Structure 1
């Protein structure tokens, strides 16, 4: 019996005891801050809304997307920073066995499966309670929950599994679809990707009721504005963008193109305008109009002050590295998303996209810009389009240059395509610094080395975080290394 339940008990210990800020939801009871028991929580539509919100809340924690899966551990593993807190030095050298790094890795594992457990609890209750919902809340909430389950499993795969390019038949992680103490078996990389796509496909069907897809106007007076602000939810087009990401991972280029084009052609996401960047007190620092999906991190201001300032906890670049990212100083990202250090921090440059502004005195900073932690962008759809066309047919440069034109820099020429993978990484890293996607890009391409380090990434299996040791006690499980 111990083998069947230690997985969940261990995660409960890590998430609740060692990580006291886990979420507003407890691992087993799915209890929000109001301490409503799950049997009462799922007795009303409001309870389902609160449970779904709880999953997003888990994701915003610092040990997940609130730091480690964006600018923290994944930024360090991708060699994005010249300077990072001392606690990340082993991560930077890929010494995964060190105590601090092992704790971080275990916390990723447990935190993501914690979110999945809460999602499965919601999904296990919702169909029997369909009569509680006012349209289209049943479809939207169930669609989002299915999408979250796919999203979270896909990132677990990208962290702990082999890349598709390395070995799609290699055992990776379990795909957990029920709220139960039973231990699920490891699935192969290919099986996980296919299961992700099934969940996302089903989610997309439910989310055809999403206002971002139907075009239905939602006001504050409509169900208290519940279906407003769809970019901070896994909305219909975010699901399609995630499907494009997953299809690209499995080298299904035609379907990747199809999904990416659906997002692009929707016209729902607008390129940021330079006029919305030039006023330093009113700027759209994260380019929020382009977010397909972002988390609403209510403590982002304090995190930006802690991690992107002159403190010992900061992440920073020096001038030469910043110029290496951006070949021209007219690039909007260079001009508007970094700030220079002063005093003892002179010569260091800090990411500004997570800063929170107060407005210019006469006008408050727009709500649409606040507290946004982007997890998927419009620009990624163009990079997916370019890569998929490179391996099939179509205008590769057109897709890359569309992004460049909206960043204030010149077009690439045909000669730039001679080493396409290097070009793609160079373009991608400009765009998503501090967002956790660069490490996954290197891994998906199975590149032997990462820029700014000579570590043998593929030969030493450094793209795969080691599975927590206790999980290898599960019957039939194998080491992913």
Structure 2
């Protein structure tokens, strides 16, 4: 059995180093090795765990797709004068950007390939599994395949789809549903979302709603993912139906004064990232080898005060907000560290080595956005009720709640501010700006302000994908 575990981990390592033309290799030798790996229930468990390990890699959710690249593109950090300034300003052609973007693409599709191998092996060798294990494994694999594809679409596809119907028949990312050496080409946005929704719906059918595991993508986390996918499309009625079904079963575990910075009780799904300290260590150092670190994860004082509605004297809405208290460290008046994910090396608790992927707060924010929007889901009273409930759970004083007579504009502004506070270092804010099609969004003090467009919001496909024919249309 140890041989099987080592073999599967070696698959993960080797696929990361493959060229783009080789990452779907399905040679007879690979078929034989797969049959050996999946001859026992433990082999299937090892394979699924290997997929989660792959997701926690620095090139994807362990770094780039959480606290690092996505946060730079959302201008969450002040790296003025640092080596990352060009990347933060959407220069996607410099060498660092090209390699980083290519690594995201390749590693996501490598993970998808491993998921497809697992799913197809279940069809061939799944008889060794009892029904409960079979259903859980298949449900999680389908959900993770949808998650990986959706984030590729959010990065390399267009935003603001709700208001751009002309995009629906344009091509977007390839949706790879089989472990095959046949090239999976681009599909339309319409077809891609159909495939996404199909994987999610099938995952929900396999997963037991009574089983709650934060370290795996369980039933309620998949519902949250489904609502996220609906909202990206502008399907607010469908998103609202999902979240209203979900809220009664997740409305617990809210952070209190004793909670750590991660508010782990509120996670619907998180990744354990055992190398998180190694990934982040230098990003918190003020100096590296005696030289000032301009790439440190700092925010300007004006930016922090603006997020939390605070004045120069430190008074305001954020004074009692648990996010303000627990997730930022004051350095100087003009420099604050964002420390939500910073590891306490003295404590060194395993509970700190995690990246939140789906949370209760997002489910509430989806509901609020659906209720405040124009159309059949609009209910401004309900939107205000849910928004103030979220403020209450963050320990914000009632003086800063939205009035019962608050306007649609006030609530929409509050939603933006809640996203800015709620998802620091989680990689979700850039997606919010892009989904809304915001031409401008808040920047660190002193950073240039320029209009956002598809050139800046949409990541370029790796050049090699054009060469091999997987991409035909930008």
Normalising by structure 1, report the TM-score: 0.82
Q: Please give the secondary structure, in 2, of the residue aligned with 1:211.
A: coil
Note the alpha carbon deviations across 1:281-308, whole angstroms, 9 max, x for none: xxx2200000111100112233343323
1:115 is aligned to 111
Of the candidates 419, 433, 440, which is equivalent to residue 442 of structure 1? Answer: 433
Of the candidates 274, 296, 299, which is equivalent to residue 275 of structure 2? Answer: 299
1:295-444 matches, within 5 Å, as: 295-311=271-287, 312=293, 313-327=295-309, 328-341=318-331, 347-357=334-344, 369-391=351-373, 392-394=377-379, 395-409=382-396, 410-413=400-403, 414-415=405-406, 417-418=408-409, 420-444=411-435
1:161 is aligned to 157
1:226 is aligned to none
Distance change (3 Å), C-alpha of 1:285 and 1:49: same
Query: In 2, distance between residues paired with 1:450 and 1:121?
Result: 41
What value does the CA root-mean-square deviation take over the aligned residues? 2.7
Asked if residue 286 in structure 1 is aligned to residue 262 in structure 2, the reply is yes
How far the C-alpha of 1:169 sits from its partner, in A, is 2.5
1:221-232 matches, within 5 Å, as: 230-232=213-215
* Structure 2, unaligned runs of 5 or more: 1-11, 288-292, 310-317
Query: In 1, distance between residues paired with 2:80 and 2:44?
Result: 39
2:8 is aligned to none
Contact 1:73–1:88 (8 Å) recurs in 2? no
Q: Please give the secondary structure, in 1, of the residue aligned with 2:441.
A: coil
1:5 is aligned to none
How far the C-alpha of 1:191 sits from its partner, in A, is 2.0
1:104 is aligned to 100
2:7 is aligned to none
Contact 2:35–2:125 (8 Å) recurs in 1? no
Note the alpha carbon deviations across 1:400-458, whole angstroms, 9 max, x for none: 22211111113123445325544322211110011000010011111112322533222
1:190 is aligned to 190
Contact 1:84–1:315 (8 Å) recurs in 2? no
1:236 is aligned to 219
1:467 is aligned to 461
Contact 2:227–2:366 (8 Å) recurs in 1? yes
How far the C-alpha of 1:173 sits from its partner, in A, is 0.5
How far the C-alpha of 1:266 sits from its partner, in A, is 0.7
Distance change (3 Å), C-alpha of 1:93 and 1:14: farther
Query: In 2, distance between residues paired with 1:128 and 1:12?
Result: 25
Q: Please give the secondary structure, in 1, of the residue aligned with 2:269.
A: strand
Distance change (3 Å), C-alpha of 1:76 and 1:358: closer
Contact 2:341–2:425 (8 Å) recurs in 1? no
Distance change (3 Å), C-alpha of 1:210 and 1:88: farther
Query: In 1, distance between residues paired with 2:140 and 2:465?
Result: 29
Contact 1:232–1:294 (8 Å) recurs in 2? yes
Report the more deviating stretch, 230-239 or 122-131. Answer: 122-131
Q: Please give the secondary structure, in 1, of the residue aligned with 2:113.
A: helix
Query: In 2, distance between residues paired with 1:85 and 1:354?
Result: 24
Report the more deviating stretch, 447-456 or 46-55. Answer: 447-456
Note the alpha carbon deviations across 1:128-170, whole angstroms, 9 max, x for none: 3232113411100110000000000000000001122342322
How far the C-alpha of 1:310 sits from its partner, in A, is 2.4
How far the C-alpha of 1:29 sits from its partner, in A, is 7.8
Query: In 2, distance between residues paired with 1:264 and 1:61?
Result: 31
Asked if residue 254 in structure 1 is aligned to residue 237 in structure 2, the reply is yes
Distance change (3 Å), C-alpha of 1:170 and 1:424: farther
Q: Which has the higher contact order (CA 8 A, sep 6+)?
A: 2
Of the candidates 248, 251, 254, which is equivalent to residue 271 of structure 1? Answer: 254
Report the more deviating stretch, 323-332 or 59-68. Answer: 323-332
Contact 1:301–1:354 (8 Å) recurs in 2? no
Distance change (3 Å), C-alpha of 1:131 and 1:333: same
Report the more deviating stretch, 345-354 or 58-67. Answer: 345-354
Number of residue equivalences = 426
2:180 is aligned to 180
Asked if residue 15 in structure 1 is aligned to residue 16 in structure 2, the reply is yes
Report the more deviating stretch, 181-190 or 430-439. Answer: 181-190
2:472 is aligned to 478
Query: In 2, distance between residues paired with 1:302 and 1:268?
Result: 34
* Structure 1, unaligned runs of 5 or more: 1-10, 19-25, 31-35, 213-229, 278-283
